[in-house]
A and B are shown apart, each in its own frame.
Chain A
């Protein structure tokens, strides 16, 4: 009976995530917060929850697993990526324009399964290694985050510079995109400082504090681009198989696990940054390896971070899901760890199958409705989402963030620079310069 309840929880969690992950910019953390709020109500109606909060645990694991696999669909087909997906959208959209959006979604979801495999391989080792790793770097996070910022700035490749003209003309042409990237990093960093020191929502809803910024920086500019570019999506091909070999999968799992694992274990390093590192540890020319590795990275980041919470005697609360679950349940001993792993594997398999069906449905949608109309509806949905969750101040933040988010779009620079919204304030705080800069900005 107990097993059946677990299976029901996993299945229902995956199904719920399937619905919400298919909507652009709806983060599963928002859904989970509603789940936790209603937990009291549910336990009153169904008393068995009181005796075993691990059912809730399995449900929430399924939510995050489903999200990390299925959210690829709106990222690719509706052009509205979240922060962790923004890095992989370019090849995904390219595949979409080549009638192979379905392939792109499946390839990236295979990465999700690869991520689940990685977690399974890490399952016996994690209790020992993770806590050691955290202890090693506990006092060193300032320079680790500074390294990421330095690498983001220095590794951007100039676009342009191939115009006919003088050497200086070519130089300035190439540096347009590089300068825009640096500007986007600095401006998003300023915005991050403002949001950290003058939050627009109460502290206990801190994830919501960043929601308008993330939606404005990453999702809305992409949707605006879709509307203004008059994109006509060609009829999509639904193939029976994808051409991937073992070498590609192995390389992608290795690279994605490295990037996603780094993001999952290190506090404040996001999935997008993990994706960036995964991308750079992978052969750039192979788009399939790249997309799989992004799928692995995203899965390992979201699910792996939550999974840390169940490691026996460690219970690291990393990420929104763990914080929310910790308010109602703290796992103890080996048993929840095993149940958590089983939940991840079952849910990942289920989510993969659902993702295929949702992709097909979405393809039908974009074939019947003009892509611009879908994009306009998406834009309205995003604006309403920000308004209902964070109110008018959030809407203003969202508009300002959109302005910054459009810089990389216009100048064709790297969008991951927009992660300065998190990286810069947190790094400054870690290094002890945060309050000084905040004072200089008039925030304290």
Chain B
């Protein structure tokens, strides 16, 4: 669960800002009146995740809390408990939330375990020991790992990903709930991208902004602009998230379920985020220039894109290629050996 939305936060923020700059009036207000209307685009761009990670997360109720022991970790017990929760969700026809706690081994060491589902089966695998950077510490043979399985009466439908990693910081929560076809959906982080990630809520915030600024200023045209920036910033976040796996509850409170994402990328993927940030920055510069009272450059949009997007991307890819060619195979094993030594010492300390 760590980091879900952390990196994307900046992407959403800058996207909200970029969207706001498409209005000439917004730019002119910012330039002449020192208005902070653009900042609202950024604030509401990041707000859906703020609501989830700083508020909703703490009010999610958990029916089962699984806290595996660091020594002699009982994988079967974990699998059995999850299976019991799934069957309970089926028999009682209500959502059952299960929190899987992480297993901390040392100051910067975690025992990873993985949870996955088959049609009628919960599968728990023991992963490697990792540090907070998710670097594997010590020996790890993926071909020879401990596995526990537990059968369920109900059929399981898993909407998010094939395997869920439980490793660093606080672990994930799964919400098990009955679907219309009778199967049980394993919903990853049921408190995330639910009510907070709704286009309807974005419109509602926009309306609130419209009313507040309208009543305060009496200028309803300006109020419309404020409302649009707020709703636009909030909505672009939801739309961007929809490119990922998890999806969002797009029309809460009218819909109750998440709409599955397009599965084009993951929220933590570096390159899509980086490219989005880059494009947003490019659009901000383009819009600020064209709508300001004095233009710093006059060029066609295609030529501009060539200079600020295609040229740097080509350079970056070329640099990456050259570095890749120049770098000799590194002594990965040496690094692993050092880490292994540290691990064994920490284990001795624990004992």
Q: Is there an interface contact between A150 and B268, defined as CB atoms closer than 8 Å?
A: no
Q: In the bound complex, how far is the Cα of B338 from the Cα of A239, in angstroms?
A: 10
The verdict on A247 contacting B320 (CB below 8 Å), with A281-B274, A283-B268 known, is yes
Q: Does B13 contact A (CB under 8 A)?
A: yes
CB distance from A328 to the nearest CB of B (A): 31
Q: Does A48 contact B (CB under 8 A)?
A: no
Kindly identify, within residues 17 to 66 of chain B, every residue whose CB is under 8 Å from any CB belonging to chain A.
17, 30-31, 34-36, 38-39, 42-43, 46-47, 50, 53-55, 57-61
Q: In the bound complex, how far is the Cα of B168 from the Cα of A285, in angstroms?
A: 10
CB distance from A141 to the nearest CB of B (A): 10
Q: Is there an interface contact between A277 and B10, defined as CB atoms closer than 8 Å?
A: yes
Q: In the bound complex, how far is the Cα of B319 from the Cα of A289, in angstroms?
A: 16
The verdict on A137 contacting B3 (CB below 8 Å), with A154-B13, A167-B58 known, is no
Kindly identify, within residues 128 to 171 of chain B, every residue whose CB is under 8 Å from any CB belonging to chain A.
131-135, 170
Q: Does A258 contact B (CB under 8 A)?
A: yes
The verdict on A117 contacting B277 (CB below 8 Å), with A136-B292, A154-B43, A162-B170 known, is no
CB distance from B330 to the nearest CB of A (A): 4
Q: Does A368 contact B (CB under 8 A)?
A: no
Q: Is there an interface contact between B285 and A250, defined as CB atoms closer than 8 Å?
A: no
Q: Does A241 contact B (CB under 8 A)?
A: yes
The verdict on A155 contacting B274 (CB below 8 Å), with A142-B34, A253-B316, A284-B3 known, is no
Q: At the interface with chain A, which of B115-123, B235-243, B321-329? A: B321-329
CB distance from B204 to the nearest CB of A (A): 20
Q: Does A393 contact B (CB under 8 A)?
A: no
Q: In the bound complex, how far is the Cα of B10 from the Cα of A284, in angstroms?
A: 12
Q: In the bound complex, how far is the Cα of B6 from the Cα of A413, in angstroms?
A: 15
Q: Which residues of A contact B132 (CB under 8 A)?
A: 94
Q: Does A98 contact B (CB under 8 A)?
A: yes
Q: In the bound complex, how far is the Cα of B295 from the Cα of A132, in angstroms?
A: 9
Q: Which residues of A contact B324 (CB under 8 A)?
A: 245-247
Q: Is there an interface contact between B288 and A137, defined as CB atoms closer than 8 Å?
A: yes
CB distance from A265 to the nearest CB of B (A): 11
Q: Does B342 contact A (CB under 8 A)?
A: yes
Q: Which residues of A contact B131 (CB under 8 A)?
A: 98
Q: In the bound complex, how far is the Cα of B278 from the Cα of A251, in angstroms?
A: 13
Q: Which residues of A contact B13 (CB under 8 A)?
A: 151, 154-155
The chain B residue sitting closest to A430, CB to CB, is B34
Q: In the bound complex, how far is the Cα of B10 from the Cα of A281, in angstroms?
A: 7
Q: At the interface with chain B, which of A10-18, A58-66, A170-178, A193-201? A: A170-178
The chain A residue sitting closest to B35, CB to CB, is A143
Q: Does A133 contact B (CB under 8 A)?
A: yes
The verdict on A97 contacting B107 (CB below 8 Å), with A132-B296, A136-B289, A253-B319 known, is yes
CB distance from A402 to the nearest CB of B (A): 26
Choice from A133, A157, A258, A289 contacting B285 with Cβ under 8 Å: A133
Q: Is there an interface contact between B54 and A158, defined as CB atoms closer than 8 Å?
A: yes
Interface flags for A269-311 (1: CB within 8 Å of B; 0: not) read 0000000010011111111010000000000000000000000
The verdict on A243 contacting B332 (CB below 8 Å), with A150-B39, A251-B270, A283-B268 known, is yes
Contact residues of B: prevailing secondary structure: helix
Kindly identify, within residues 41 to 88 of chain A, every residue whose CB is under 8 Å from any CB belonging to chain B.
none
The verdict on A285 contacting B268 (CB below 8 Å), with A140-B288, A174-B58 known, is yes
Q: Does A333 contact B (CB under 8 A)?
A: no
Interface flags for A84-107 (1: CB within 8 Å of B; 0: not) read 000000010010011110000000
Number of B positions contacting A (CB below 8 A)? 70
CB distance from B135 to the nearest CB of A (A): 8
Q: Does A135 contact B (CB under 8 A)?
A: yes
Q: Is there an interface contact between A280 and B59, defined as CB atoms closer than 8 Å?
A: no
Q: Does A112 contact B (CB under 8 A)?
A: no
Q: Is there an interface contact between A157 and B277, defined as CB atoms closer than 8 Å?
A: no
Choice from A135, A155, A287 contacting B9 with Cβ under 8 Å: A155
Q: Which residues of A contact B55 (CB under 8 A)?
A: 171
Q: Does A255 contact B (CB under 8 A)?
A: yes
Most buried by B among A94, A98, A239: A98
CB distance from A389 to the nearest CB of B (A): 36
Q: Is there an interface contact between A246 and B268, defined as CB atoms closer than 8 Å?
A: no
Q: Which residues of B contact A253 (CB under 8 A)?
A: 316, 319
Q: Which residues of B contact A1 (CB under 8 A)?
A: none
Q: Is there an interface contact between A143 and B296, defined as CB atoms closer than 8 Å?
A: no
Q: Is there an interface contact between A161 and B57, defined as CB atoms closer than 8 Å?
A: yes
Q: Which residues of B contact A264 (CB under 8 A)?
A: none
Given contacts A136-B288, A151-B46, A154-B46, 9 further A-B contacts (CB under 8 A): A98-B342, A139-B292, A143-B34, A143-B38, A155-B6, A239-B338, A251-B270, A280-B6, A285-B134
Q: Which residues of A are in contact with B by a Cβ distance under 8 Å? A: 91, 94, 97-100, 117, 121, 129, 132-133, 135-137, 139-140, 142-143, 146-147, 150-151, 154-155, 157-158, 161-162, 167-168, 170-171, 174-175, 178, 237, 239-247, 249-251, 253-255, 258, 277, 280-287, 289, 430-432
Can you list 8 contacts pairing A with B, beta carbon distance less than 8 Å?
A135-B294, A135-B296, A140-B31, A147-B38, A151-B46, A243-B332, A246-B321, A258-B281
Q: Which residues of B are in contact with A by a Cβ distance under 8 Å? A: 2-3, 6-7, 9-10, 13, 17, 30-31, 34-36, 38-39, 42-43, 46-47, 50, 53-55, 57-61, 107-108, 131-135, 170, 268, 270-271, 273-274, 277-278, 281, 285, 288-289, 292-294, 296-297, 307, 315-317, 319-321, 323-324, 327, 330-332, 334-335, 338-339, 342
